[in-house]
Chains A and B, each alone.
Chain A
Amino acid sequence: MSHVASIDIEIKDLAALKAACAEVGLQFKEGQTTYKWYGRWMNDYSGADAAFKADVSPKDYGKCAHAIGVPGNSQAYEIGVVQAKDGKYKLVWDFWQGGFGLEKLAGPKCSHLVQSYVGHVAKKTLAQQGYAFTGTKKLKDGTVEMVFTHA
């Protein structure tokens, strides 16, 4: 018997997010309430993942609860960890020109960071149920698959 659930990932665990930052080489800047971006809304991006479509008002671009940066690179843009009214977090960033080094570590659309976050949450939660992390593999399309085994 198998069961497959599809999940809309929600960033709720800051400890896991910090661990994910460390894993991909980013620096979690706890309590930093501004993040570096172009600095002025040009209203020139309206993709599906545009921040203003995700309940982040352009007037609040640059503001956050915490920030994530690139160690040793003062030119790089930063990711804003923005907290919504329900307490969950969104990652907001400016990837113009790859964020001048940010995208290289965070991944396209923060994929590396989110995948690492998912891994840390899964490991922590399943360990409490007696599951052992037994391996991970990266598929050709960039999907990361983690396997947990219960005796």
Chain B
Amino acid sequence: MSHKIMVRCMPDGKTEVRVEGLPGVSCKDATKAVEKALGMVTDDKKTHEYNQAAKTSASISQGHS
């Protein structure tokens, strides 16, 4: 059965992996490898506080006077 995986990366680095068209537990199995390769999975988007930029990248942004 043909199915798709969508990987969405927002400008702040927050990334979602979505699979459509697979039944049951196959759904999560399909994305396990790419989720692990990309980073740390947090399933609960509503309660997770995103400080994404600080996780992968960090700014010095020094002012010069």
Query: B-contacting residues of A (Cβ < 8 Å)?
Result: 1-13, 37-38, 40-42, 44-45, 47-51, 53-54, 56, 61, 90-96, 107-111, 114-115, 118-119, 121-122, 124-126, 128-129, 131, 134, 141-151
Contact = CB atoms under 8 A, between A and B. Distances in A.
Interface in B8-43: 8-24, 27-28, 30-31, 33-35, 37-43
Chain B: interface residue count, which band?
Answer: 35 or more
B18 A4 contact: yes
State the majority secondary structure of interface residues on A.
mixed
A45 B62 CA distance: 6
Contacts of B40: 7-8, 10
A9 B28 CA distance: 18
Given A49-B53, A110-B57, A44 B62 contact: yes
A115 B54 CA distance: 15
Interface of B: 2-24, 27-28, 30-31, 33-35, 37-45, 48, 51-65
Contacts of A4: 16-18, 45
16 contacts: A6-B41, A7-B35, A42-B64, A54-B55, A90-B58, A92-B60, A95-B61, A96-B61, A109-B12, A118-B15, A125-B33, A126-B33, A147-B4, A148-B4, A148-B7, A150-B3
